[in-house]
Structure 1
């Protein structure tokens, strides 16, 4: 069973709550873990993660989503990810964004569960010994939703710009609205640039960037500014472009947000690297990200938490 246009509320009404795994009153969001039917037989169910975002919620009222929601409309569905807009019953100005991951894996549950953080230092040696094998172990299915977009199987109508340099042996990219944006609030504008890979090549994270990727990064910076200005009148200097490390998925991408959008946890020190700084560092030394020691936050639910925490004792001060 999956989302069907016109029957979204009926589908969400089958959600059975297991636990509230995260609440963020600053971001006005709450994340629920539960189950949804996997087919027409309601006895067969699989885990689902549902995030409701915009207004503050009382966890007690979320046990039955069908009685809470007045309407639901499907925005997009791609592989295991779906994005919807909905309205709450008996509330004024209560539009909210609903993100659904179904079926949800153990990795998804850990990622979206509230967790404590530590700051770790990742030397090039620790990257090769611990982090790179972790990245190598990810199956291609984990980023199938990204490939669906790049292959024009999903969200084609949302593409704002596309560079096809990958067809000529370079690195191309496309820019689309990020799933976290409601597509209307310019002050919360959020786009993402996803990289097109040339045949036989990969580019998974900040660690793999070299001087070869400077044309790609400069082009993303230039066209992101052009798009934001032409479509939403965002002035020069009105964008913040950054790269996450560790990223939430290992296919290189650049986050593009309104510079006034300051409530994002993903923009904090220890995770976000400004694209301007990345470009400048590569201009100074084309292999610098293979040489640097990188410091970043790791949550206690992250699979790298235990091995990286233990490895900190081996570092010299």
Structure 2
């Protein structure tokens, strides 16, 4: 099974729903677990499809008579009224659709709605529990990142690139898959790091003073790209790093500062790039010394061992 010109709708029509594993009324999104045909006889494999309603643009909402086909009044009280409306056919898309196929059980756990718990990770717990977990990840889990860095996939979307040279780290900037590429208020870019041969940069814990030129360049070039292409002025971006990240190849999120409500921007996961740079300027090895607090979902691979280890962390 493959997506291609003219095939996408027919392929999605072959999707068989197993269950809805997540839904969010705030982001107007739903995540579906099911199966799609592999293209080999009658074989099917696991698939995850995420649906999210796209945003309106300012010009579109300014002419409601052309936007709406019907309206039903739900309630009215003094100056307040609540209505439900149906859209007319639009030039703009109504849904953004992301597909993971074939989806592993790790993907299913990641995208399933789950309860969160706050844990504290000391440097000793990182060395004993977290680092072995990261090292054990197979390279196939980040093959899609390598495809982008090698220009095998999404090469036409690269906005800026600095290649790695000798011992110098590089990076490229590309639109994040979560962005619809249209709505500037929800602009979402990501900087993926090019590591020199023989070196790895996996997460916040790996950062040292030697990475300061890399981080400063990501900050400068991300701001320049956003300003030149989309008119976003100084101070109009929120630039941050996740810990724990969703994948262990170091990357930086570059998001419109007005794009609020994203789960990944919450305290306990997002670390502002400016703060990271300031900390490394104070102490180039600070991320080997800090105790870090963050949320873990009950489906995360670190949930059980980190929960069990919390009794060792005495100061909360």
Measured against the shorter chain, the TM-score band is 0.7 to 0.9
In the alignment, does 2:43 pair up with 1:44?
Answer: yes
What is the CA–CA distance in structure 2 between the aligned matches of 1:309 and 1:168, rounded to whole Å?
A: 41
Superposed displacement of residue 168, structure 1:
3.2
Superposed displacement of residue 298, structure 1:
0.2
**Corresponding residue to 2:269 among 268, 271, 278:** 271
Superposed displacement of residue 199, structure 1:
0.5
In the alignment, which residue of structure 2 is the partner of 1:113? Answer: 112
In the alignment, which residue of structure 2 is the partner of 1:239? Answer: 237
In the alignment, does 2:102 pair up with 1:103?
Answer: yes
Q: Is the 8 A contact 1:243 1:255 kept in 2?
A: yes
In the alignment, which residue of structure 2 is the partner of 1:150? Answer: 149
Superposed displacement of residue 169, structure 1:
2.2
Q: Is the 8 A contact 1:29 1:55 kept in 2?
A: no
What is the CA–CA distance in structure 2 between the aligned matches of 1:275 and 1:236, rounded to whole Å?
A: 15
What is the CA–CA distance in structure 2 between the aligned matches of 1:95 and 1:302, rounded to whole Å?
A: 32
What is the CA–CA distance in structure 2 between the aligned matches of 1:184 and 1:266, rounded to whole Å?
A: 21
In the alignment, which residue of structure 1 is the partner of 2:213? Answer: 215
In the alignment, which residue of structure 1 is the partner of 2:313? Answer: 315
Question: If the length of structure 1 is used for normalisation, what is the TM-score?
Answer: 0.87
In the alignment, which residue of structure 1 is the partner of 2:285? Answer: 287
Q: Quote the RMSD (CA, aligned, Å).
A: 1.3
Alignment of 1:187-202 (within 5 A): 187-202=185-200
Deviation readout 1:195-225 (Å, 9 max, x if unpaired): 0010100000000000000000000000111
In the alignment, which residue of structure 2 is the partner of 1:33? Answer: 33
Name the SS for the 2:249 alignment partner: coil
Structure 1 residue ranges, 4+ long, deviating more than 3 angstroms after superposition? 90-94
In the alignment, which residue of structure 1 is the partner of 2:64? Answer: none
The structure with the larger Rg is 2
What is the CA–CA distance in structure 2 between the aligned matches of 1:4 and 1:227, rounded to whole Å?
A: 30
- Residue ranges of structure 1 left out of the alignment (5+ in a row): 57-89
Alignment of 1:64-83 (within 5 A): none
Name the SS for the 1:167 alignment partner: coil
What is the CA–CA distance in structure 2 between the aligned matches of 1:314 and 1:40, rounded to whole Å?
A: 51
Alignment of 1:106-185 (within 5 A): 106-164=105-163, 166-185=164-183
Name the SS for the 1:135 alignment partner: helix
Superposed displacement of residue 91, structure 1:
4.4
Instruction: Count residues with an aligned counterpart.
Output: 282
- Residue ranges of structure 2 left out of the alignment (5+ in a row): 56-85
In the alignment, which residue of structure 1 is the partner of 2:301? Answer: 303
In the alignment, which residue of structure 2 is the partner of 1:257? Answer: 255
What is the CA–CA distance in structure 2 between the aligned matches of 1:143 and 1:289, rounded to whole Å?
A: 23
In the alignment, which residue of structure 2 is the partner of 1:15? Answer: 15
Superposed displacement of residue 40, structure 1:
4.3
What is the CA–CA distance in structure 1 between the aligned matches of 2:34 and 2:312, rounded to whole Å?
A: 40
In the alignment, which residue of structure 1 is the partner of 2:4? Answer: 4
